[in-house]
Amino acid sequence: MVLPKRILYKQYKKHTTRKTKRQQNNNNKTYKTMVILGSGGHTSEMLSLLTNLNVKKYNPFLFVASKTDKFSEKRLHSWQSKHHPTNTKPYHVNYISRSREVNQSFFTTIFTTILSLLECIALILKTRPDVILCDGPGTCLPPCYICFLFNILYITKTKIIFVESFARVNTLSLTGKLLLPIANRFIVQWKEALDVEFLGKNKRLGSYWNCEYVGIVI
């Protein structure tokens, strides 16, 4: 019985060694993170969230904003100089067309949406992010849905992480409703939000949709 024991021991050592190596590789792995910025308070919330993010793990950042957003890049560079002063090169922002501007007609929205989707296809194929991180601006819908489609087609393996706005306690934002079915992780900042029903009675965010409450993250 000595030989079989030795064989079993060797197999066990091989297994544990491989497992340890996989764990070490996962710990050392970095994730190319696409960060969606938005007008209003969305950029402020996102930059506050990034302040507490493990940048050693989630890097490099790929910032995306709409072409009509005139303020997010300035806020981003101001945040960078304060929290990442060693990065002398300003973060680059990729600009995409908005699917729909405020008060834009629904007819012309068809064409701007197509343009936005085409730009997002090119951007996703070029950058191939591991993670998309967004917190509510409508700008995030085209890249998220493109990545969802590409994941189905095995073109990408992008994880979509959506953080619902701090202002949403008992309701979901429109962007949240549209991304809830496809997001890999859907995070709410208020415990009360877990009891919100979506697409049917008793289909609560916490029990049915597996949303996560992690406290205030901004």
* List of residues 6+ apart from 204 with CB closer than 8 A: 194, 195, 196, 197, 198
SS3 content of the chain, % helix, strand, coil (to 5): 45, 15, 40
Domain coverage including residue 97: 32-184
Half-sphere exposure of 97 (CA within 13 A, CB side): 15
Tell me if 57 is assigned to some domain.
yes
C-alpha angle 83-59-141 in degrees, rounded to nearest 5? 100
- How far out from the chain centre does Cα 216 lie? 17
Tell me if 9 is assigned to some domain.
no
pTM of the model: 0.84
Band of pLDDT at residue 117, cut at 50, 70 and 90: very high
**Whether pLDDT at 23 is above 70:** no
Omega before 129 within 30 of 0, i.e. cis: no
Instruction: Give the residue with greater pLDDT, 184 vs 138.
Output: 184
Band of pLDDT at residue 1, cut at 50, 70 and 90: very low
Say how many C-beta atoms besides its own lie within 10 A of residue 118's C-beta.
14
CATH number at residue 142: 3.40.50.2000
Tell me if 218 is assigned to some domain.
no
Tell me if 142 is assigned to some domain.
yes
Walk across the sheet containing 212-213 and list its strands: 93-96, 61-66, 33-36, 131-134, 159-163, 185-188, 212-213
Tell me if 47 is assigned to some domain.
yes
What's the pLDDT at 17? 60
User: Sign of dihedral through CA atoms 93, 80, 128, 100?
Assistant: negative
Tell me if 196 is assigned to some domain.
no
Structural domains counted in the chain:
1
Start-to-end Cα distance in the chain: 60
| Integer Cα distance of 178 and 173 in angstroms | 9
| Integer Cα distance of 193 and 146 in angstroms | 27
Tell me if 208 is assigned to some domain.
no
| % the chain with pLDDT above 90 | 63
Q: What is the pLDDT of residues 119-143, one digit of tens each?
A: 999 999 999 999 999 998 889 999 9
Tell me if 71 is assigned to some domain.
yes
